[in-house]
Structure 1
Amino acid sequence: MLAGVLRLKGRSSVSVYCERLHSIFSTNISDAMDRLNIRGNVMSPDIKPVISGMKVCGEAFTVRATRAIKGETLEEYVYFLKHLEKLSTGTVLVIDGKECYDVALWGELTTNWAISKGLGGVVIDGRVRDTPRMVSLKFPVFARGSVPTDAVGRVGFTDINKPILCGNVIVKPGDIIFGDMDGVVVIPKSDVKKIIDLAEEIRSLEDKVRERLRTGDSLLALVREFGVL
């Protein structure tokens, strides 16, 4: 079990939080963090779900991809994969791949492996490949796009389960990652409860505004009343 995960009646606190998060949206979480003055936790808008409509939620396990030193072989990937074998069910693998945009850091075979391990998803500041086959697997992968070039022999890995910069956001091991069609947000593990509580309140206010709009109320008046838009 990763550090910082508590057990609640046989389930981790992370799984309980993710159940709540799946009923709201990244926009609600972003708005909640704004109100709490927690800034800089929305990843680059270029990181999107490979499959439109997918959501991702789980505790972050982090790694940074780097340019391979000349002469490195498949052993670099073996070293990386040995660490991945230790991941817990529901974990979201977060990869800082900004040094390697010209190669694919993830593909269909690794997706099949992630499904077999029960991972919650993958978020990559970088590219993937095997897109048609990945789409058929319906597993949440978020990335900057695709490229056919293999990473083996071109990429090394470092900073395994250490703080990284992914999509211009600092991600620490154990932070909660949430993503949907609008993008990916990073919820600091120290603030997760108050952020989700407030995000749910904002979602509830939006529901009230929506219903009032449908009955013909003034948008300006509703914004003044509820403070959401």
Structure 2
Amino acid sequence: MTPVLTPENREKLKRVSSATLTTALFKRGFRNVFIQDVRPLGTVAPRMVGEAYTLRYIPAREDLDHLGVFADIEHPQRKAVEACPPGHVMVIDSRKDARAASAGGILVSRLMQRGVAGVVTDGGFRDSPDIAQMPFPAFHNRPSAPTNLIRHHAADINVPIGCGDVPVFPGDIVVGDGEGVCVIPAHLANEVAEEAYEQTAYEDFVEERVRAGESIFGLYPANAETKAKFAAWRSGWS
């Protein structure tokens, strides 16, 4: 059974950067964990941490994808918005195609009101100026006004997908910040959270010393003397 991300480590992941996480995962042999060409909308949203809940699109087909499909409560896009558990992140595989929207402001508002932790697509969102003003993490490739039906057929919910060329399995831990989105395999999430949190503490120490005029030699990476100085400094870091 995959270990559950602890509440303590969930909070730690809110304090670390996607850059630090990619390095922690690289140490474990994972090179493809940062979703390419996906950026945050706006600057008012908190950092994003949550388990992946996925939606997969395939190319639209004209006889199947028309406005009438939204009346069906089993339509995968609509169903996913109502089924994504609170605290999870909806991750949408739009095949890196932003020529039609993956979703729009109303659906994103619904996710926010339901307590979902955020939403990510490798396509685009319509109503993006409105979404950018929400206190809700949302990441996409670029704005896209046309309805999803023009380019996308909603096919599956909560199955393994590719988002921005990164494999995302349901339950993987998805972390988003100002640089973008990192995906942590679920079974590694707790140990990566703990290591990345400690690395963040050390990098805060390094930043402080560099700004005070110190050379990076012996500091980054640390020699024995620097490690001793950091240990003393670390006792006051929280």
**TM-score for both structures, normalised by structure 2:** 0.83
Does 2:33 match 1:41?
yes
Residue matched to 1:20: 12
How many residue pairs are counted as aligned between the two chains?
Answer: 218
CA-to-aligned-CA distance 1:146-182 (integer Å, 9 cap, x gap): 0211113542112321111101110000000001111
8 A Cα contact 2:3 2:187, kept in partner: no
Residue matched to 1:172: 169
Deviation at 1:56, TM superposition (A): 1.6
Distance in 2 between the 1:143 and 1:129 partners?
A: 10
Does 2:154 match 1:157?
yes
Distance in 2 between the 1:219 and 1:144 partners?
A: 36
Distance in 1 between the 2:127 and 2:55 partners?
A: 21
Distance in 2 between the 1:147 and 1:177 partners?
A: 23
Distance in 2 between the 1:103 and 1:148 partners?
A: 7
* Gap change, CA 1:92 and 1:218, over 3 Å in 2: same
CA-to-aligned-CA distance 1:164-205 (integer Å, 9 cap, x gap): 110111000000000111111000001111111111121111
Residue matched to 1:131: 128
Out of 99, 104, 111, the position equivalent to 2:101 is 104
Distance in 2 between the 1:108 and 1:175 partners?
A: 25
* Gap change, CA 1:213 and 1:154, over 3 Å in 2: closer
Does 2:204 match 1:212?
no
Distance in 2 between the 1:34 and 1:129 partners?
A: 34
5+ long unaligned stretches in structure 1: 7-12
Deviation at 1:16, TM superposition (A): 4.0
Distance in 1 between the 2:209 and 2:165 partners?
A: 38
Distance in 2 between the 1:113 and 1:83 partners?
A: 11
Residue matched to 1:51: 42
Deviation at 1:99, TM superposition (A): 5.9
5+ long unaligned stretches in structure 2: 227-238
* Gap change, CA 1:26 and 1:34, over 3 Å in 2: same
CA-to-aligned-CA distance 1:87-138 (integer Å, 9 cap, x gap): 2111100001026421011211111111221111100010111122212222
Question: Greater shift after overlay, 130-139 or 169-178?
Answer: 130-139
Out of 122, 128, 148, the position equivalent to 2:119 is 122
- Of structures 1 and 2, the larger Rg is shown by 2
Task: State percent identity of aligned pairs.
Answer: 31
What RMSD in Å do the two structures reach over aligned CA positions?
A: 2.2
**TM-score for both structures, normalised by structure 1:** 0.86
* Gap change, CA 1:83 and 1:136, over 3 Å in 2: closer
Residue matched to 2:229: none
